[in-house]
Structure formats: structure tokens, C-alpha cells
Chain A
Amino acid sequence: MHELGVVFHIMDSLEKVAVENEVTGISRVVLELGEVSTVIESYLHNCWQWAAKKRELFSEAELVVETIPARTYCEGCGQTYATVEHGKICPCCHSPDTWLLQGNEFNIKEIEVY
């Protein structure tokens, strides 16, 4: 829902990294995106393309998004299961007392620079 805003945040952060590391250009940016973060990958790519044209440092940067699968833990039976497939109710014991273990991440993993 706020893909353009987060693209600006990513670029702002990486511009700082570029200055600190005396980087002249970025050829690749790798992000880690959880399956149930609030960010839609295809929108992220669209926003990235639009914003990258406006910032020299990113004009040739390829965006790579690695997906982190969402897993939920059930307090009721101690099992973990795939969140996207089963949602908040545990498929093993049908308990609603469940917690997201992973899958809401949104990280900048690494960049390829020259």
C-alpha cells in the first residue's frame, strides 16, 4: 500500500551507504520481503523503476526481491504451519491462539556496487 514511500526510504538509506563506502554506482539491490509484510512485490518493482530514473545512483540498479515464507506458531499444539495457506486458525488443532514466527520482514540484504 505504501510501496512508493518505502522505495524512497530504501534509496535514502542506500545513498548514505554509498557516501560512507565511496561508491560511484549501484548495479544491484537485493531485498528480503516476507510473504505477509504489507508490501506487494509487483508494485514495489513498478515504484522502483519510476524512482530509479530520477536518481543517478540507481539509474542502472537492478532490483532483486527474495521472498521469506510466512510461518505461524500455534500455542495450542506447538506446531508451526504455512501462514498464507491456513491463516490464523491452526490446521492441526483448530486453535486461534497463534503467532507469526516469520514472514513480515522487509530488509535490505545487500547491494552490488562499483
Chain B
Amino acid sequence: MKEVRILEIKQSVFADNDRQAQLLRQELREKKLFLLNLMSSPGSGKTTTLMRTIEALRDTLKIGVMEADIDSDVDARTISQSGVRVIQLHTGGMCHLDAEMTRQGLEGLDPAELDLVILENVGNLVCPAEFDTGATKNAMILSVPEGHDKPLKYPLMFSVCDVVLVNKIDVLPYFDFDLEKCREYVHRRNPRAKIIPICAKTGEGMKAWTDWLLQEVRGEGYGEKT
């Protein structure tokens, strides 16, 4: 008969990933490479927002993009038209990226020459919030047609974000979206989250967003390679 024994583990399922993410964040800090993790639900305008962001900042910062998708390279093809370095990551059916996948993706980008890498995470408001990618900052996009109650329905996503972009504000008159209620709901879960209303299509509010991002990158000394 086999001799069995009990090993007490007592650790969160996410503990291993959290450790790897913390290590990656520290390494990026030393390399002065800023990693932005961009999350949202499908169809909120991540790729369009990303294109406009690149256009605004590419003369100031050396930018790379990692596109994470379950399959296809549709977004990577679009982003490559902007002239920045882009790599497509396939999660192979998984609904999120973890720190190890992020690290592998970064290696493929040749990050030594870059100031800012933007990770476009899988379109999903649940799973990416559970897995820390090791990013310097987390951003998420909530688009007007999705409704202002999303911070209540997906509290974890809103609690891990440093900035929330409320996109597609050009269609506000046609939807029952209450911007003030949205602010209240976000701040109820995350008082320190910065909220910036934008329209990636018309460009409204985009300067406030790119100014915030540039300040974050420069403020902590990221992107100042010697």
C-alpha cells in the first residue's frame, strides 16, 4: 500500500502568477520600459483608440504593441499600418494573458529600443482582471453603448484599473448612459481610478488621455534610455 501524506499548500491559485508579474514589473522598471495593459470588452474600440494613441505619441516615444487574441491577426494587421513594431500573441483558446505569456511576447518585440509597449489584452471584462500581466499600469475602455452599470457588474476589472477611458461619447445623446453615475460606480469600487471621456473616432478627449499617458511614462523616468 502506498504511504500517503498531506501537504498543506494554503496559497491563492493566482499566487504564482502574481509573483511572476511582480518580478516582470520590477525588471521593466530597471530597463525603463513602460508597459500599459489595455483591457475592455469586445467592440469597445480598443484598436481604434490604440491607433489614435500611436499617432499622437509616436514622434515622442518609441512604441511597440502586443496584440493578444484567441485567434486571428486582424488587429495586428491594422496596427502594423501605423508603422510601429507589433507582435501578435495567440492565447490558444485561453481567455486572458498571464505574466509568463506577457514576458514571452516582450522578448519577441526586441524591447531594448522601446520606451512604451502597449498590450492589447483579450476582449473580456472578467478573466484579464484576475491575472496580473506585470504591466506598469492598467487601462480599460468602457464604451457608451455598453452602459454605465458595468462597474457594478464587473467590479474586479474596475478595481484593478489605473485609468478608465469612456469611449464613443459622440453617441451619448442616443443612449441612456449617465456619465456621472458611471463615475460614481467606478469610484465606489476604486476611488483612485482616473476617468477620461473620449471619442477615438472624432478625437474628442484624446489629448487628455495621451497627456496622462505621456506624463505617466515620463513622470517615473520610464523611456529615458541612456
Contacts and interface: CB of A to CB of B under 8 A. Distances in A.
A1 B127 contact: yes
B156 A38 contact: yes
Given A88-B152, A114-B3, A114-B4, A107 B12 contact: yes
Interface string B1-42: 011111111111111110000000000000000000000000
Interface residues of A, number: 30
A8 B94 CA distance: 11
B95 A1 contact: yes
B51 interface: no
B131 to A, nearest CB: 8
Contact of B7 (A6, A9, A21, A38): A21
Interface residues of B, number: 28
Contact of A13 (B11, B95, B130, B156): B11
A5 B94 contact: yes
A94 interface: no
Contact of B11 (A2, A108, A112): A108
Contact of A110 (B8, B94, B95, B131): B8
Nearest to B154: A38
Interface in A63-88: 88
Interface string B81-121: 00000000000011110100000000000000000000000
Contacts of B152: 88
